[in-house]
Structure 1
Amino acid sequence: MTVNADPQKERAWGPLLVAWLIALSSTLSALFIGEIMGQAPCVLCWFQRAFMFPLAIILAVACFVSDSTIWRYALPLAVIGWLIALYHSLLYGGIIPESIEPCSAGPSCSGSNMDIFGWVPLPVLSLAAFTAITILLVIVRRRSIA
């Protein structure tokens, strides 16, 4: 007895896997920076983590069961995380004035400790990860309904 695989699910699985790998590496990197390197996250980093960490879990489950409809649940998380990361990147870049910075206590959202390896801004890395995940989930959506 042979099982016919759904070609739409097969076409959506590749981008879904890549989206999960990005979410997983982002989650593990955030944990490494916080727990191993001892760099406390700022308020905006915490909010971004709140949207990235669940993506790592639900995208893993979606990959395991080949659920190409996961975009319905994952895309809102990725877009909201992207908006927070965009705000954080604009704040870090000095485009948004520090007077409306949400960090009143704890690490600064735009301080020099927001760089990894001395030159890569963490907010921009987060923005890139959320951007890639969002694009990949849109591709998953298109391939699953086409």
Structure 2
Amino acid sequence: MNLTQTVTQVLAILVLASDIALVASLLLFLFVARGKLSKLVKFPVFSSIARNARILAFVVALVSMLGSLFYSDIAGFEPCKLCWYQRIVMYPMVLLLGLAIAKTDKKNIIDYCLGLSGIGAIIATYHYWLQRGGNEFIPCSTVGYSVSCAKTFDMSYGYITIPFMALTAFLLIFSAMMLSRSYQRN
């Protein structure tokens, strides 16, 4: 197994575990907390996540940034136009969250990260949809020097591609920030 395969396998395992956690959290939110975040943050695991949301989101954003740089600069995967848009949204969160941790800014960072991760999740969803054979709503022109947005470099577990990894990261950050906001209000 070469370095690219090893990194992809490690990231795919992290994404799979994160997806399981996101689905379990959503089910708890809908059926146990009955759609109220204030009830969900009373569970010890969720209150712990809420208290440490900035650190969790920083780690997710940092791993996402390093992963994208690995794929483009070391593995040699040329980023497409949508990949660049996702990077434009993800990379600032590393800086913003790092500064928020250093300055212990708990309030303002939540709104910024919710906005950025929400936009990123929309772009990543559209990108993943294109990879799975969906039709383009918005053209992803290759302008002669970049790869097609529909190109799949690797797929793990039958569904995890690079845009899906990004989608999971954006959803993790969004969820952590929502829990943090609800926790601060209670």
Match of 2:167 in 1: 127
Q: Indicate yes or no: 2:172 matched with 1:138.
A: no
Match of 1:27 in 2: 65
Match of 1:93 in 2: 132
Match of 1:75 in 2: 114
- Deviation of the 1:145 alpha carbon: 2.4
- Deviation of the 1:104 alpha carbon: 2.9
Q: Indicate yes or no: 2:155 matched with 1:112.
A: no
Moved more, 75-84 or 64-73: 64-73
Count, aligned residues: 135
TM-score, length-normalised on structure 2? 0.66
Moved more, 12-21 or 121-130: 12-21
- Deviation of the 1:129 alpha carbon: 0.5
| Higher RCO (CA 8 Å, separation ≥ 6 residues) | 1
Cα distance in 2, alignment partners of residues 34 and 140 from structure 1: 33
- Deviation of the 1:141 alpha carbon: 1.1
- Deviation of the 1:90 alpha carbon: 1.0
The percent of aligned pairs where both chains have the same amino acid is 33
For residues 80-135 of structure 1, the C-alpha deviation after alignment (integer angstroms, 9 at most, x for no partner) is: 111101111111111x215854133310111132x267964101111100011100
Cα distance in 1, alignment partners of residues 168 and 59 from structure 2: 14
Cα distance in 1, alignment partners of residues 124 and 92 from structure 2: 16
TM-score, length-normalised on structure 1? 0.83
Match of 1:7 in 2: none
Cα distance in 1, alignment partners of residues 74 and 157 from structure 2: 17
- Segments of structure 1 that go 5 or more residues without pairing to the other structure are 1-9
- Deviation of the 1:29 alpha carbon: 0.6
Cα distance in 2, alignment partners of residues 11 and 27 from structure 1: 21
Cα distance in 2, alignment partners of residues 31 and 117 from structure 1: 19
Asked if the contact 2:49–2:179 (Cα under 8 Å) also holds between the matched residues in 1, the reply is: no
Root-mean-square deviation (Å):
2.2
Q: Indicate yes or no: 2:136 matched with 1:84.
A: no
